[in-house]
Structure 1
Amino acid sequence: MKVVVIGGTGHIGTYLVPRLVQAGHDVICVSRQRGNPYTAHESWKQVKHVDIDRQKSERNGDFGTQIASLGGDIVIDLICFTPQSAQKLAEVLKGRVQHFLHCGTMWVHGHSEQVPTSENQRRNPFGLYGINKAKIETYLHAIYQENGFPITILHPGHITGPGWLPVNPVGNLNPEIFVRLSKGEEITLPNLGMETVHHVHADDVAQAFVKAIENHQNSIGESFHVVSEQALTLRGYAEEMARWFGKEPKLRFLPWEKWQKNVTQRDQELTWDHIAHSPCGSIAKAKQLLNYTPNYSSLQAVQESIEHYFEKEGIPVNRL
C-alpha cells in the first residue's frame, strides 16, 4: 500500500519508515524540511520526500488537501497536537483512506489510579499536552463511531533511543544525572523515589505502528499503549544505572518542597510533570490484538541512548 507518514524524520519515523519499506509499502515522508533521520538506513533511498510546513499550511487552510493529494491508502500522523489540527485533517481524509493512525501519549490518562493502567480506565488528564491529546482521542473515536472513519491510536510512553536523551532517574532531561551516576557520585531524588517512569524504544513504537497496519481488523477503532514490559521507579532506575556503570548507587532523598529548590526552573517543571503523571501502562491489549512484543526493556532502551550520548560527547565510561 501507499503509506503517508506525517513527521517521518523524527524519533519514531527514523525507525518506522524503514520498517514500512521493508514490509513492502510505498512510503511518502512528509516533513517541514528535508532533515536527516537519527540513524541511516538503506531503505530511505526508496522513500519519496514531500516538504510541507504543517503550521504554515494549516494557517493557509490547505494542509488536509495537500495530504489527501498524495493519495495514501494509509496515513500515519506522528505530529498532531491539537483537536483543531486533528479535525481539519480527518474531515478531508474521510472516505479517502483505508487506515488513519494517530500517535497519542500515555499522558492522556493523567494521574494513575490503578496500575498498570489499561486503555479503558477513567481519564484524568492535566496539563495542556495531555488534555489536548485526550480531546483528539475522544474526537477520533467519535468519528469512527459515527461514520466508520478507520482510526487507530497508539499511546507511547517516554520515547528514547540513540540521538535523544531519555527521561532520567530524577524525572527530567538533564544528562548530568547520568554523568554523576557513571562517576559513582551521589544524586538526590525527590520524595522517596517511588514515582514511576515508563520508557519505550522508538523502534518498539515503530514496530507497534506496523503491527497495527498488519492487524488491520483488530486495530481499527481501538487505542493501544506502546511501552516496555515494565515501568521503573525512580529509585530502581537510578540504582540499576549506577550498577550498569560499574558503581555502587549513592542516593539521598528530599521532600519535593526542598528538592525543587536545588534545581533549575526547567528541571523542576519537567520533574514535576513526570512524577505527577507517574505512568505505568499495561500492554496486554497490544500483545493480544496486535502481537506487539517490545524488543527493549526500559533499561535497555535508556542504556542504548546513553551509550550513544556518552560516545558522541566524548565522556569516558569504565563499565564493569
Structure 2
Amino acid sequence: MARIVIIGGAGHVGTYLVPRLVEAGHQVVNVTRGLSRPWLPHAAWAQVETVVMDRTAEEAAGRFGAAIAGLTPDIVIDMICFTPESAAHLADALEGRVQHFLHVGTIWVHGTLTTVPAREEDPRSPFGQYGIDKSRIEDMLLDRARRGRLPATVVRPGHIVGPGWAPLNPAGHFNPQVIRDIRDGKTLALPNFGLETVHHVHAEDVAQVLALAIDNRSASVGEAFNAVSPAAVTLRGYAEAMFRWFGHAPALTFQPFDDWKEGVAPEDAQATLDHIIRSPSHSIAKAERLLGYRPRWTSLQAVQDSVAHLLS
C-alpha cells in the first residue's frame, strides 16, 4: 500500500476520500492549515497523520514543494491549487520523487460548450481567471506526464455538494434563501426560460473518482476525468423537482435575465450569470470506461442530501 499525502484533505471531498483510502490500507497524511474538520465523523481519521502547514506562507518563502517532498509520499493529491505558479512550484519539487500526482481541477476549464455532454478531449475555451488558470495548470501537468517527467492525473469536479455545503440552487447562485423559499412554497423567479443547465456532483463521488484513479494508475496517468453526476439538470427542472420534494406544486415565473437580476442581490446575479453563461453538461463515459466510475448520486439526490443537512 502507498503513503498518500493529501493537500487540503479535511474538506468536503476529503470527508469521504480519506476514510476510503485508509480502509483500503493506505497510509494517509493530511496537510492542512488546521482550520478545517471533516464534515462527517469516521474512525479512520484516528489513523491519519496531520501536518499543519500554511501553503501560502510556505510558497512565498519558496519552501512548500520541498516540504511536501520531505514527507516522502508515494502519491500526492492536491485539492487546493489555483494558480499555474503554485502548480509549477509543487510539480518541480515532486518530479522523479512520486509514483502518482493527482490534481483536483474543475469543469470550468471548458468555458462555453459547443456540444453536450462535453467530453474531456473536446476543445476548451475557458474564460474568467479561475477557469483560465485551472486550464493552464491542467495543460502543464498533463504535458509533464506525456514527457515522462511527472505521472499526473487531473480530476475535474462539477458543482460539489454534500453535507455542510450550501448547494448551487435552482436560481443559479448560492444564497440559501432560495431553498428556504421553495421549502415554504413561495413563488420563485428564474432567469430566461430556466433552460440553462448546471451539473452537480456529490463530494463522495469526487472521492470515488480520485480513489479509482489511484487504483487504476496505468489508465489514469496523463489523463483528465470529469467527476460529475450522470446528468446535468436545467434550472427549471431542478426547481420543479425541489418544489415537489418539499411537497409543493411548482410555482415559477420567468423573466429575461436583465429584468430578473434587478430583483436579486448583485453578487447573486453575478454568480447566476457565471453559471448560466457556461451551462455545464459533461460526459462521464471516459471515467466509466477507464476507471469503472459508477456515481452513487444523481444531481438531484446529491443536492437533496446537501439540503437535508443545511435545513436540519
Tell me the TM-score normalised to structure 1 length: 0.96
Per the alignment, residue 70 of structure 1 pairs with 71
Per the alignment, residue 204 of structure 2 pairs with 203
The 5 A counterparts of 1:233-312 are 233-311=234-312
Contact 2:243–2:250 (CA under 8 A) maintained in structure 1: yes
Per the alignment, residue 157 of structure 1 pairs with 158
Per the alignment, residue 29 of structure 2 pairs with 28
CA distance in 2, matches of 1:131, 1:14: 28
Contact 1:125–1:131 (CA under 8 A) maintained in structure 2: yes
- Which range moved further: 260-269 or 29-38? 29-38
Contact 2:83–2:133 (CA under 8 A) maintained in structure 1: yes
Per the alignment, residue 128 of structure 1 pairs with 129
SS in 2 for 1:277: coil
Contact 1:34–1:49 (CA under 8 A) maintained in structure 2: no
C-alpha deviation, 1:10, in angstroms: 1.0
Contact 1:30–1:51 (CA under 8 A) maintained in structure 2: yes
- Alpha-carbon displacement from aligned partner over 1:263-295 (angstroms, at most 9, x marks no partner): 111101110111011110000000000000100
Contact 2:95–2:149 (CA under 8 A) maintained in structure 1: no
CA distance in 2, matches of 1:277, 1:166: 17
Per the alignment, residue 99 of structure 2 pairs with 98
- Alpha-carbon displacement from aligned partner over 1:72-123 (angstroms, at most 9, x marks no partner): 0000000000000000000010000000000000000000110000001110
Per the alignment, residue 43 of structure 2 pairs with 42
Per the alignment, residue 174 of structure 1 pairs with 175
C-alpha deviation, 1:186, in angstroms: 0.3
SS in 2 for 1:230: coil
- Alpha-carbon displacement from aligned partner over 1:293-314 (angstroms, at most 9, x marks no partner): 1000000000011011111xxx
C-alpha deviation, 1:183, in angstroms: 1.5
CA distance in 1, matches of 2:49, 2:145: 29
Corresponding pairs, count = 311
> Sequence identity of aligned pairs in percent?
53
Let me know the Cα RMSD of the aligned residues. 0.7
Asked if 1:9 is matched to 2:10, the reply is yes
SS in 2 for 1:209: helix
CA distance in 1, matches of 2:148, 2:59: 24
Contact 2:197–2:232 (CA under 8 A) maintained in structure 1: yes
C-alpha deviation, 1:34, in angstroms: 5.2
Per the alignment, residue 144 of structure 1 pairs with 145
Contact 1:198–1:227 (CA under 8 A) maintained in structure 2: yes
SS in 2 for 1:136: helix
Residue type at the aligned position of 2:85: Q
CA distance in 1, matches of 2:291, 2:36: 31
SS in 2 for 1:205: helix
The 5 A counterparts of 1:204-243 are 204-243=205-244
